[in-house]
Structure 1
């Protein structure tokens, strides 16, 4: 993920599903007030239903993980000249990459909604109908081991990469202050050992804040990174997350020739309809005006 700390709101209830346009007329004699239904009786928001509960999302994630495992096995047969980490100053219009040399192979993944699904806090925020709370998330980072689960096919993918001699590294915007909690969470999800500073890189490890570019370059200085995986474009390059970048330009960056040559060919994107920079999009961003239609 880019960072949960930039997540403004996890919509719940009517915010996603919609409510009736007008209430029914009140009866002449109001009935006794009914006890409120427990929170568990309400359905989760649609985006959460899809990502965490639908077989459609499970199949899509599992297929992405299978492609990653196959790609890793294929890619190491012939040592690439360059990694898939963009070099300093590179742009998507003219991409250049960190050199591989004789460095060992690595695959670098985001953690949240890429290696693991954060079922605990996602349910909590949705049931409460509250915005993201950094204090709650900090507790989750420290104590969530055993409550987060590996995404479908992730354990098999990670094991296949390691068996092929590819080091698996997590580069996440979880905080360095809660490093042990993140190590424990990944291990409890069945993903093996991740060690802070070696195979686990966290926000606070450098001065880049939520930008992962510096951490990616630090990893690429020691490894030939042949795979990047994430659920947000910032998991591949911070240039997708430039402040106030117009939606049209962000779309162009992600779909130009430079990016197209990388998607599913070293860069692997996981579905996440729950949160992300795209939450800021307006009607005009999502629906071209020349495609507007109304029934007669």
Structure 2
């Protein structure tokens, strides 16, 4: 089987310059970002437009989460504008919200509302945590300490961990003693941790009901570890925030179905070094736009 898979990676510090540049070159992208800006003003009380004029990164969770989702959705709509439609989608972390939108299951407003209220609800715990990429298996990380959570399984020997900021230095030291490479992620917070409460009534009340529609393409949920319709209610989205990202299972499921080429609709080249591990390849947005523009 061959087809177009659009992949949405997780949160990363977002820089305004790529946004500004793409908005100046691509009218459709600018149009979608303007719609997102209007929704953010209504739902969050702040707009993104002034952020595009800044030079620094936007990394705080309450703004980063919605901005990454807005950027990813803008890229997706730009792909549609150029005639590139997905046969399947996959997302990890906040990218799972973008994937639900791309699958046609949720509206633009609901996608941004999930990101807005999710970022706010996670912030009190997440701001006390940090994440790191560790070059060993999830099982080895679990065996080392019970003071961290497995935030993502990116490959059999590549794991993202999440834990309290004060616990991370000693863990880094343990890993160094075992000659295991570790890289602190450049985010001032940590998500996908069991330190987040199992339920969050305030988040569920703020988000309220979500109108879902049948998916228009195949979709894999990296939080549930299965092919899905993304008909998630507020409680299910909250579980996504605290569950590990099962990236290995997700990409493996696509490769098993014969999907081996992924279009990366995200603000960072996260997937470029990962997908070759699974016998797959990635096409960047820059590559796509060089062909279609």
Q: TM-score, normalised by structure 2?
A: 0.26
Structure showing greater radius of gyration is 1
Higher percent of residues as helix: 2
| Structure with greater contact order relative to length (CA < 8 Å, sep ≥ 6) | 1
